Structure 1
Amino acid sequence: MRVITTPHVSEQAVLAALREAFGDPSHAGPAGPGQFVVDLPGGGDVIHYPAVLPAAGIHAVKVSPYLPQPAGPAVVTAWTLLVSLSTGQPLALLDASGLTVERTAATTVLAVGLLLPPDAGTAAVVGYGRVGRAHARYLRHVRPGMTVRAFSPLGIEEADDTVQAVHSLEEAVTGADLVMLCTSAAGDVLDPRDLPAGVVVTSISTNAPGAREIPSAAVPDLDVYVDARTSLQVATELAQAAASGWDPATVRGDLAGLVAGRAPRPAGERPVYFRSVGLGIEDAAVAWAAYENGNDEATTEGRSG
């Protein structure tokens, strides 16, 4: 079994792997079984992200421990195991910390490439840490002509000359066709109802308890899309909206439906909201792409037990 401690794969390969995985006809229903959380005694948890790649003959599971510390930040790691469905033997164990950032950003950008109108010209990235920078990086591969603004409440330490750093949320989102929320907030960052109809807003999950970036009250007034229907129970604001009477059946589509052309595109009459929580199919696809990429310089040989 190969142990790959610093896996690397190009943005183009990540996007292609995700497009292929979500386009697999076997995912006409839910794209995998969702997330499974094991709570740990004394606090913390381990999230499991399982998936199958039928075309590759691979089962994968990512495990991500969240371990609070008495002093200082919590320890968060992630590892993905690839298992052959023909032999039942493990093929590789990959450090998925960096791959998780890649699949998170690429999933968002794959969706917005299908949700945005062709003439969309301006994007805002709100929260410009490692994940926000990855969103901007992937967007250049899907919509290379878009102007990108970035805003972070904590300030922006690193931005290349393709990104315009701005000093307020209002400055970032005014006139934007796309707003990608990339914060670690556990409360409202933005109300999409304040934006014009047709603007696409995206949001991701973090380890913050009750993580959400928009108010649950806004959900019924949006055209909602998700990475998978299983996310409806995981995304805080969607679960809260459902508990308050919003009908999850009104979700317009998931990512598999968008890739396959089954899901309707936005009508342009309301703001659009794409919510991703992270799926095993994404981790599997990106880990398999990294495994196929070779990563010889970052690979050690081990023995399966």
Structure 2
Amino acid sequence: MRVISSPRVSEQAVLAALRDAFGAPSLRTAPTPGQFVVDLPGGGDVIHYPAVLPHADVYSVKVSPYLPDPAGPAVVTAWTMLVSLSTGQPLALLDASKLTVERTAATTVLATDLLLPPGARTAAVIGYGRVGRAHARYLRHLRPGMTVRAFSPKGVDEADDGVQAAANLEDAVTGADLVMLCTSAADDVIDPRALPAGTVVTSISTNAPGAREIPPAAVEALDVYVDALTTLQVAADLTRAAADGWDPAAVRGDLAGLVAGRAQGPSGERPVYFRSVGLGIEDAAVAWAALYNDNAMTKGQSR
């Protein structure tokens, strides 16, 4: 089994891997597995992200421990293992810390590219840490003509990747065709109901209990899409909206449906909301792409 501690993969390869994974015919008949959590004695937990990647003939699972430390910051790691479905043997173990950032941003941008009209011109990124910067980077890859504004309470370095720093949240969002929420907030960041019809809002939120970035009361006024239907059981804003009377059957489509062209497009009458929580199929696809890249580099070096 190969252990890859510093996996590398290009934006183009990540996007291609996710398109292939979400476009797989198997997703039409079998639901995309969600994540599940195992609580640890004394605090902390381990989140598991399982998936099958049929075209690669592999099973994948990413494990991400959260280990509190009373003396300092919690320990958070992530590792993805790929197992051959032909031999049952492990093929590779990859450090997934950076890969998780890549797949999170690429999933959002892949969805928004399918939800935005061709003429969309301006995007706002709210929250500009590693994940926010990755969102901007992937958006530039798929929509190079779009202007990207960013706002973060910690400030935005425009030289970092050419984004325009917004003075405040309102300046960032006003007039934007796309608003990508990339915060670690535990409560509402914006209310999409205040945005024009057709504006696309995305949210990744965090795994903290009850964390959300929009008000649950806003959900019924939006055209809602999700990365997978299992997200309806996990995302705090959607579960709370359902508890308050919103019908989850109103979801217009998931990412597999968008990629395959089966999902209905936005109505044009309301803001659009894409909610993702992170899926094992994303981790599997990106890990497989990184393993392929590592094999190619190793082969090239051995010549």
Give your verdict on TM over 0.5.
yes
Q: After superposing the two structures, state which structure 1 stretch, 115-124 or 69-78, moved more.
A: 69-78
Q: Which residue number corresponds to residue 197 of structure 1? A: 197
- For the aligned residue pairs, the C-alpha RMSD in angstroms reads 1.5
Q: State the SS of the aligned residue for 1:61.
A: strand
Residue 77 (structure 1) shift: 0.5
8 Å CA contact 1:205, 1:278 repeated in 2: no
Residue 83 (structure 1) shift: 0.3
Residue 30 (structure 1) shift: 5.4
- Distance in 2 between the 1:168 and 1:230 partners? 34
- CA deviations 1:91-129 (Å, max 9, x no partner) are 000000000000000000000000000000000000000
- Distance in 1 between the 2:296 and 2:186 partners? 40
- CA deviations 1:154-207 (Å, max 9, x no partner) are 222464352001110000000000000000011000000010000000000313
- Structure-2 change in CA distance of 1:46 and 1:238 (3 Å): same
User: 1:49 is matched by which residue type in structure 2?
Assistant: Y
User: 2:226 is matched by which residue type in structure 1?
Assistant: V
- Structure-2 change in CA distance of 1:122 and 1:293 (3 Å): same
Superposed, 1:260-271 pairs within 5 Å as 260-271=260-271
- Structure-2 change in CA distance of 1:190 and 1:290 (3 Å): same
Q: After superposing the two structures, state which structure 1 stretch, 155-164 or 245-254, moved more.
A: 155-164
8 Å CA contact 1:4, 1:295 repeated in 2: no
Q: Which residue number corresponds to residue 302 of structure 1? A: none
8 Å CA contact 2:209, 2:236 repeated in 1: no
Q: After superposing the two structures, state which structure 1 stretch, 115-124 or 158-167, moved more.
A: 158-167
- Distance in 2 between the 1:154 and 1:226 partners? 29
Superposed, 1:143-154 pairs within 5 Å as 143-154=143-154
Q: State the SS of the aligned residue for 2:12.
A: helix
Residue 20 (structure 1) shift: 0.3
- Distance in 2 between the 1:229 and 1:207 partners? 17
8 Å CA contact 2:182, 2:204 repeated in 1: yes
Q: After superposing the two structures, state which structure 1 stretch, 29-38 or 248-257, moved more.
A: 29-38
User: 1:226 is matched by which residue type in structure 2?
Assistant: V
Q: Which residue number corresponds to residue 68 of structure 2? A: 68
Residue 211 (structure 1) shift: 1.4
* Identical-pair percentage: 81
Residue 29 (structure 1) shift: 4.4
Q: After superposing the two structures, state which structure 1 stretch, 70-79 or 155-164, moved more.
A: 155-164
User: 1:184 is matched by which residue type in structure 2?
Assistant: S
- Distance in 2 between the 1:281 and 1:183 partners? 23
Q: After superposing the two structures, state which structure 1 stretch, 65-74 or 183-192, moved more.
A: 65-74
| TM-score using structure 2 length | 0.96
User: 1:276 is matched by which residue type in structure 2?
Assistant: S
8 Å CA contact 1:23, 1:256 repeated in 2: yes
- Distance in 2 between the 1:156 and 1:259 partners? 32
Q: Which residue number corresponds to residue 256 of structure 2? A: 256
8 Å CA contact 1:30, 1:230 repeated in 2: no
Residue 295 (structure 1) shift: 6.2
Instruction: Flag structure 2 segments of 5+ consecutive residues without an equivalent.
Output: 299-303
Residue 47 (structure 1) shift: 0.5
- Distance in 2 between the 1:29 and 1:239 partners? 24
- Distance in 1 between the 2:158 and 2:209 partners? 28
- CA deviations 1:220-260 (Å, max 9, x no partner) are 00000000000001100000000001000000000000000
Q: Which residue number corresponds to residue 229 of structure 1? A: 229
Q: Which residue number corresponds to residue 301 of structure 2? A: none
Superposed, 1:1-305 pairs within 5 Å as 1-29=1-29, 31-157=31-157, 159-160=159-160, 162-294=162-294
User: 2:91 is matched by which residue type in structure 1?
Assistant: L
User: 1:100 is matched by which residue type in structure 2?
Assistant: T
- Distance in 1 between the 2:161 and 2:40 partners? 44
User: 1:119 is matched by which residue type in structure 2?
Assistant: G
- Structure-2 change in CA distance of 1:41 and 1:159 (3 Å): farther
| TM-score using structure 1 length | 0.95
8 Å CA contact 1:81, 1:90 repeated in 2: yes
8 Å CA contact 1:176, 1:199 repeated in 2: yes
Q: After superposing the two structures, state which structure 1 stretch, 196-205 or 65-74, moved more.
A: 65-74
Structure number with higher relative contact order (C-alpha < 8 Å, ≥ 6 residues apart): 1
- Distance in 1 between the 2:168 and 2:30 partners? 38
Q: State the SS of the aligned residue for 2:72.
A: coil
